[in-house]
Amino acid sequence: MVGKAGGRTALVRWFFNPYVQLAFDAILVTTAELMLKLGATASTPLTASISWLGVSALASKWTWIGIVAYLVSLACWLYVLRHIPVSIAFGLISVAQVLVPLGAWLFLGESISPRRWIGIASVLCGTVLIARTIVRRGDQ
Amino acid sequence: MTALAFGIALLSQLFLICGQLLLKRAMHFTPIRIRTLVGGIALLSVWFFLWLGLLADWDLSRLFPFEGLNPVLVVFGAWLFLKERVPLLGWIGIGLISLGVGLVTAS
């Protein structure tokens, strides 16, 4: 039986594991992207000529929540990059791209097209392959 | 999709990839290289606003080729410029991820 202090140390160690941080980062990035899409569509461009800059989206509160989520995710990401090669980390963080439709399917009851299911399966297969290269490297 | 939007989308992805490589470069050293880090964050900020602008005008499903190519291009950049070793299994994995992201975004 591990004591209270020992349990806390294990939790801290778990929290600072770069792969755990990468998982947090994926959730944060997913949240940020959903917020940004909400913000970008909620606002109307000031003038057509500068609409490509995306400045008008700053008027929406969703955009600001998205920006905060992005800033926290950046801190996570920098920590991850310090410990994992970017060629491995960037592949794994791409899982965030399939979390959005999966989340909408699980929690909002939205349907997923067959093509999208194939895409999700493809990303997950790729993630498993990259995870296997990590095991071979002898990383944690 | 207009030629201008296509050009901006291409440019924004270039900023994203270069920004990511600079971040990794900066975090590689102890102490962290602040100037490289700031440069990387600056490039990512430019990408952020360009991408926000594209999302306002175009549906994400129109931007899928750019979104899909990101993982494979970042890994290629890391292999080419940062000399990271990428095993064959890693290349196949990143190829499947890129394909999958493209398919998910497209539909």
Would an 8 Å CB–CB cutoff place A123 in contact with chain B?
A: yes
Of B92 and A1, the structure prediction assigns the larger pLDDT to B92
Q: List the single residue in A77, A91, A125 with the smallest CB-CB distance to B75.
A: A91
Residue of A52, A99, A116 to mutate, testing the B interface (most B Cβ within 10 Å of its Cβ): A52
Residue A102 has a pLDDT of: 81
**Which chain B residue has the Cα nearest residue A120?**
B100
| Beta carbons of B4 and A52 less than 8 angstroms apart | yes
Three-class HEC string of B1-65: CCHHHHHHHHHHHHHHHHHHHHHHHHHHCCCCCHHHHHHHHHHHHHHHHHHHHHHHHCCHHHCHH
Residue B5 has a pLDDT of: 86
A84 phi and psi angles, rounded to 5 deg: -125, 140
Q: List the single residue in A52, A55, A132 with the smallest CB-CB distance to B89.
A: A132
Arithmetic mean of pLDDT, A14-19:
92
**Which chain A residue has the Cα nearest residue B32?**
A82
* Closest approach of A87 to chain B, Cα-based (Å): 5
- Give the pair of three-digit tokens for residue B53: 């602008």
The SS3 call for residue A85 is coil
Residue B18 has a pLDDT of: 96
* Closest approach of B14 to chain A, Cα-based (Å): 15
Instruction: Report ipTM (2 d.p.).
Output: 0.87
Would an 8 Å CB–CB cutoff place B42 in contact with chain A?
A: no
Q: Chain A 16-35, CB below 8 Å of chain B: which residues?
A: none
Residue B67 has a pLDDT of: 80
Residue A109 has a pLDDT of: 74
Rounded distance, CA A57 to CA A134, Å?
A: 40
B30 phi and psi angles, rounded to 5 deg: -125, 120
Rounded distance, CA A104 to CA A132, Å?
A: 29
Question: Given a cut of 50, is residue A140 above it in pLDDT?
Answer: no
**pLDDT tens track for A30-84:** 888 778 777 777 765 555 555 555 666 677 788 889 889 988 999 999 999 999 9
- Give the pair of three-digit tokens for residue B32: 């962290």
Residue A47 has a pLDDT of: 53
Arithmetic mean of pLDDT, A115-137:
90
- Is the torsion defined by CA of B70, B14, A65, A24 positive or negative? positive
**Residues of chain B below pLDDT 70:** none
Rounded distance, CA A131 to CA A126, Å?
A: 9
Domain count for chain B, please give it: 1
Q: List the single residue in B27, B70, B89 with the smallest CB-CB distance to A133.
A: B89
Rounded distance, CA A60 to CA A43, Å?
A: 6
**Which chain B residue has the Cα nearest residue A102?**
B104
